[in-house]
């Protein structure tokens, strides 16, 4: 490729990403779908900016997959694998095994040989690590039970690719095609029998793992002594390229080699530094991969065989959805979390492109089989963000509510001066603090799993939806003095505020707010005591930073308290103005920031403060500085 052509294609890729992704995110579709749409638009079957044959597209796609899998492998910490061993081996293993066998059975019924059917089954069983993790992370669902289950399944799938690629040569039915493709790709072992190729593959993997375990640390220790940060990036790329080259020589995909390289680096004490060096490139390279996937969709084949490809896409999504939903129930997921797992993972994955290409090279699958499968895989991946939007906007609000109502609220047999709605990390801290000071509390939480866990920890928590008037009345809201709102979403908090103001107007409400917008909404709703969850901890950290920089503890604490008082006053003032012209709101906010800076600067210059700082003697600074 000429330099001018390379620069032009780089310009096209970046322009497509910069234009399409913000539009997709603004429409609530997420960045992944934006990248895929951008690829379709600029691809060979859109504007044709990347070449009619799509060769350049697949070149960039391969590079994106290679670097993406390196980062995925880099994050496979042994401690994490051990902690998730049950869902990884149980849920992940069953998902791959059951899906592979079901797809293979259907393929056999459609006339494929058992070797072809097994190869197709293993390929379709895998889901998209890149799309699922990025989508769950963007939507804040990665830490949920369904999100962690999805993560465990994806980990098993990534690891399962290694034995799959080692098994494929044994499934080859056309040694002539395999030898021809092996010669074209530069494989040294393509002309050997299948069992020899399998041994060579396993030997290459063993060399990488054993060599990396005993040689990697001394090498990076020597690099660390140079104190040149860029050498870490260079060394990582050298390792990636070297291992990818080795894997190519034994007939495996370079993408698999980079994945193994990442796994090797995950055991190094220098992993975090390498990860921080590579992290800025990760998002862009993933975006590049998604664009390439969108551009690789063969719309000519779609037009020629629309029923076949549509049927393949529907079969992939429906079959995997059903398997995941059944397994989620078998592993005791709640209905809403089981549906999250099923909606997150029904697509085929980026490894399918690697496996299908490898299967074609090895003579396992004919190109008449792989071509429609590539189109179906790409379309199933394109459907993934849409399925997550469907889950988030349509399924979750309805199914989540029904699953909560299936269990009857607990009978509440006590009355306390303080009610606490929501007992996550925020509400639990408030409740434990009050209980430690002899103040009785009645706690309500709608998460049944969390209720059971907290009870096992010895905490008294009742299951029930605090936004229900009858449940609040049973909990003694008509006699209580305070209601602490520590729910997990702003919407549920506002709904509960409306219920309290309608039925218990004398009950004082202390509400948790997530950010400024949330705080504005609560103040507008009539809540007098609003607490932004990050404000106190951030100001305490800021005060500690001042103390460590040489400020007296008294000055640091006083500055933090003044900042909080001024910030709370600003919140109330700006709440009254937020519905006015945005320019007026911005100008008022800017003025409040400037006023605060002048206030704190004049406070530091006040010589009279020295009289009040006598308690902050040098011998007591360390003790009081951490209070």
Chain segment 50-65, per-residue pLDDT in tens: 654 445 555 555 666 6
Query: Of 33-37, 155-159, 338-342, 585-589, where does mean pLDDT reach its minimum?
Result: 585-589
Cα angle: 586, vertex 591, 596; to 5 degrees: 130
Burial category of 464 from C-beta neighbours within 10 Å (exposed 0-12, middle 13-18, buried 19 and up) = buried
When pLDDT is cut at 50, 70 and 90, the band that residue 100 belongs to is very high
Q: What is the pLDDT of residue 378?
A: 81
Q: Which of 500 and 595 is assigned the larger pLDDT?
A: 500
* Residue 624 in this model has a pLDDT that exceeds 70: no
In this predicted model, what pLDDT tens digit does every residue of 570-605 receive, in sequence order? 777 777 776 666 667 677 777 777 776 777 777 666
* Residue 83 in this model has a pLDDT that exceeds 70: no
Q: What is the pLDDT of residue 3?
A: 47
When pLDDT is cut at 50, 70 and 90, the band that residue 274 belongs to is low
* Residue 88 in this model has a pLDDT that exceeds 90: no
Query: Of 7-16, 312-321, 466-475, 579-588, where does mean pLDDT reach its minimum?
Result: 579-588
In this predicted model, what pLDDT tens digit does every residue of 376-390 receive, in sequence order? 888 888 888 888 888
Q: Which of 606 and 446 is assigned the larger pLDDT?
A: 446
Average of per-residue pLDDT across 159-183: 65
CA of 297: how far to CAs of 57, 173, 193, 291, 464, in Å?
11, 27, 35, 11, 49
When pLDDT is cut at 50, 70 and 90, the band that residue 335 belongs to is confident
In this predicted model, what pLDDT tens digit does every residue of 463-475 receive, in sequence order? 777 777 777 777 7
Q: What is the pLDDT of residue 1?
A: 46
Average of per-residue pLDDT across 25-39: 73
Beta strands 508-513 and 441-445, pairing class: unpaired
Render 281-325 in DSSP notation, one character per residue: HHHHHHHHHHHHHHHT--HHHHHHSHHHHHHHHHHHHHHHHHHHH
Q: Which of 459 and 564 is assigned the larger pLDDT?
A: 564
CA dihedral angle for residue 491, residue 492, residue 493, residue 498, rounded to 10 degrees:
90
Q: What is the residue-averaged pLDDT of the chain?
A: 75
Query: Of 183-197, 336-350, 455-469, where does mean pLDDT reach its minimum?
Result: 183-197
Q: What is the pLDDT of residue 184?
A: 43
Q: How far apart are CA 596 and CA 236, in angstroms?
A: 47
Q: What is the pLDDT of residue 571?
A: 73
Residue with tokens 């039915």: 173
Give the start-end residues of each E strand in 453-542.
Answer: 462-463, 482-485, 508-513, 529-532
Burial category of 596 from C-beta neighbours within 10 Å (exposed 0-12, middle 13-18, buried 19 and up) = middle
Q: What is the pLDDT of residue 29?
A: 61
Q: Which of 290 and 484 is assigned the larger pLDDT?
A: 484
Average of per-residue pLDDT across 283-291: 74
* Residue 22 in this model has a pLDDT that exceeds 70: yes
Q: What is the pLDDT of residue 118?
A: 92
Highest mean pLDDT among 102-111, 404-413, 607-616: 102-111
* Residue 74 in this model has a pLDDT that exceeds 90: no
Q: Which of 498 and 180 is assigned the larger pLDDT?
A: 498
Q: How far apart are CA 291 and CA 36, in angstroms?
A: 5
* Torsional class of 175: left (φ above 0), alpha (ψ -120 to 50), beta (otherwise): alpha
Q: What is the pTM of this model?
A: 0.57
When pLDDT is cut at 50, 70 and 90, the band that residue 176 belongs to is very low
* Domains in the chain: ranges and CATH: 60-401 (1.20.1530.20), 407-533 (3.40.50.720), 534-627 (no CATH)
Residue 441's beta-bridge partner residues? 418
Cα angle: 216, vertex 217, 219; to 5 degrees: 65
* Residue 609 in this model has a pLDDT that exceeds 50: yes
* Residue 623 in this model has a pLDDT that exceeds 60: no
**Which contacts qualify for 158-164: CB closer than 8 Å, 24 or more apart?**
158/69, 158/72, 158/73, 158/76, 158/129, 158/259, 158/351, 159/76, 160/92, 160/96, 160/126, 161/126, 161/256, 161/259, 161/351, 161/354, 161/355, 162/205, 162/256, 162/260, 164/122, 164/355
Q: CB of 128 within 8 A of CB of 388?
A: no
Q: What is the pLDDT of residue 53?
A: 42
Q: What is the pLDDT of residue 200?
A: 73
Share of the chain above pLDDT 70, in %: 74
């Amino acid at each position: 490729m000429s330099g001018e052509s390379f620069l032009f294609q780089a310009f096209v890729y970046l322009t497509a990403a910069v234009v399409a992704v913000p539009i997709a995110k603004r429409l609530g579709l997420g960045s992944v779908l934006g990248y895929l749409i951008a690829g379709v638009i600029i691809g060979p079957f859109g504007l044709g900016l990347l070449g009619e044959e799509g060769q350049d597209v697949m070149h960039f796609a391969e590079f994106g997959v290679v670097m993406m899998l390196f980062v995925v492998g880099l994050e496979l910490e042994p401690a994490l694998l051990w902690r998730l061993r049950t869902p990884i081996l149980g849920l992940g293993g069953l998902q791959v095994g059951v899906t592979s066998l079901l797809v293979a059975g259907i393929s056999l019924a459609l006339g494929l040989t058992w070797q072809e059917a097994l190869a197709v089954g293993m390929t379709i069983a895998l889901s998209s690590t890149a799309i699922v993790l990025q989508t769950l992370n963007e939507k804040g669902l990665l830490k949920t039970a369904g999100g962690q289950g999805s993560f465990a399944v994806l980990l098993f799938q990534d690891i399962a690719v290694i034995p799959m690629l080692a098994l494929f040569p044994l499934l080859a039915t056309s040694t002539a095609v395999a030898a021809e493709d092996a010669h074209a790709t530069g494989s040294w072992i393509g002309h050997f029998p299948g069992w020899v190729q399998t041994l060579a593959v396993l030997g290459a993997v063993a060399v990488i793992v054993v060599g990396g375990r005993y040689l990697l640390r001394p090498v990076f220790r020597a690099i660390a002594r140079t104190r040149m940060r860029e050498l870490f990036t260079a060394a990582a790329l050298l390792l990636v390229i070297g291992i990818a080259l080795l894997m190519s020589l034994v007939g495996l995909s370079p993408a698999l080699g980079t994945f193994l390289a990442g796994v090797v680096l995950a055991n190094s004490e220098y992993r975090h530094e390498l990860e921080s060096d590579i992290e800025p490139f990760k998002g862009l390279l993933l975006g590049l991969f998604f664009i390439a996937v969108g551009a690789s969709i063969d719309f000519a084949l779609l037009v020629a065989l629309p029923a076949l490809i549509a049927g393949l896409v529907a079969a992939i999504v429906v079959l995997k959805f059903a398997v995941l939903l059944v397994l989620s129930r078998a592993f005791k997921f709640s209905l809403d979390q089981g549906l999250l797992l099923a909606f997150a993972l029904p697509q085929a994955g980026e490894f399918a492109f690697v496996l299908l290409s490898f299967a074609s090279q090895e003579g396992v699958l004919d190109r008449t089989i792989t071509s429609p499968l590539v189109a179906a895989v790409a379309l199933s991946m394109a459907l993934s963000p849409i399925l997550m939007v469907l889950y988030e906007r349509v399924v979750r609000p309805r199914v989540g509510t029904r699953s909560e109502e299936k269990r009857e609220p607990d009978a509440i047999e006590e009355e306390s001066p303080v009610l606490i709605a929501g007992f996550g990390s925020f509400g639990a801290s408030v409740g434990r603090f009050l209980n430690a000071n002899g103040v009785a509390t009645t706690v309500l939480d709608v998460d049944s799993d969390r209720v059971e866990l907290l009870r096992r920890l010895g905490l008294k928590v009742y299951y029930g939806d605090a936004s229900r008037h009858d449940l609040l009345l049973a909990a003694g809201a008509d006699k209580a003095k305070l209601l602490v709102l520590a729910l997990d979403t702003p919407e549920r908090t506002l709904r509960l505020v409306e219920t309290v103001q309608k039925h218990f107007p004398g009950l004082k409400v202390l509400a948790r707010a997530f950010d400024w917008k949330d705080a504005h909404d609560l103040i507008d709703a009539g809540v007098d005591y609003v607490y932004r969850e990050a404000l106190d901890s951030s100001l305490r950290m800021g005060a500690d930073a001042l103390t460590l920089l040489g400020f007296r503890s008294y000055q640091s604490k006083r500055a933090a308290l003044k900042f909080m008082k001024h910030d709370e006053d600003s919140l109330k003032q700006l709440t009254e103005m937020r519905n006015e012209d945005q320019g007026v709101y911005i100008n008022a906010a800017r003025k409040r920031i400037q006023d605060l800076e002048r206030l704190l600067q004049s406070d530091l210059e006040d010589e009279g403060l020295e009289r009040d700082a006598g308690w902050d003697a040098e011998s007591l600074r360390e003790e009081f500085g951490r209070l």
